Amino acid sequence: MNSKTLVNSALVGVFTLGLVAAAGQASAADNKGAEKCYGIVKAGKNDCQTNKHACAGQATQDGQGDSWVYVPKGTCEKIVGGSTKPAA
């Protein structure tokens, strides 16, 4: 009886962590108070895909013009090197 409770608790924990992770990713993308800011990311700290790679965290250099991160709406243009459009 004790091992069954332990297994059930572990399964609930794993399931809950998965839901929390999925909700966090969805809320960042759907956040109406945020905008994509290009050209300010540190290497490996971008939020999502670019023309050169298909996943978050794959920017190869600091300030890469086509890599972006979410910032509060209205702040991107105030950051040195920041732009709401990707560099050509």
What does the pLDDT read at residue 22? Answer: 46
The CA distance from 41 to 78, in Å, is: 15
What does the pLDDT read at residue 10? Answer: 55
Q: What is the mean pLDDT of each run of 10 residues along the chain (88 residues)?
A: 62 49 51 87 77 71 83 93 88
Q: Cα–Cα distances in Å, from 39 out to 12, 21, 67?
A: 41, 26, 6
Can you give the pTM of this predicted structure?
0.57
Burial (CB < 10 A; 0-12, 13-18, 19+), residue 49, is middle
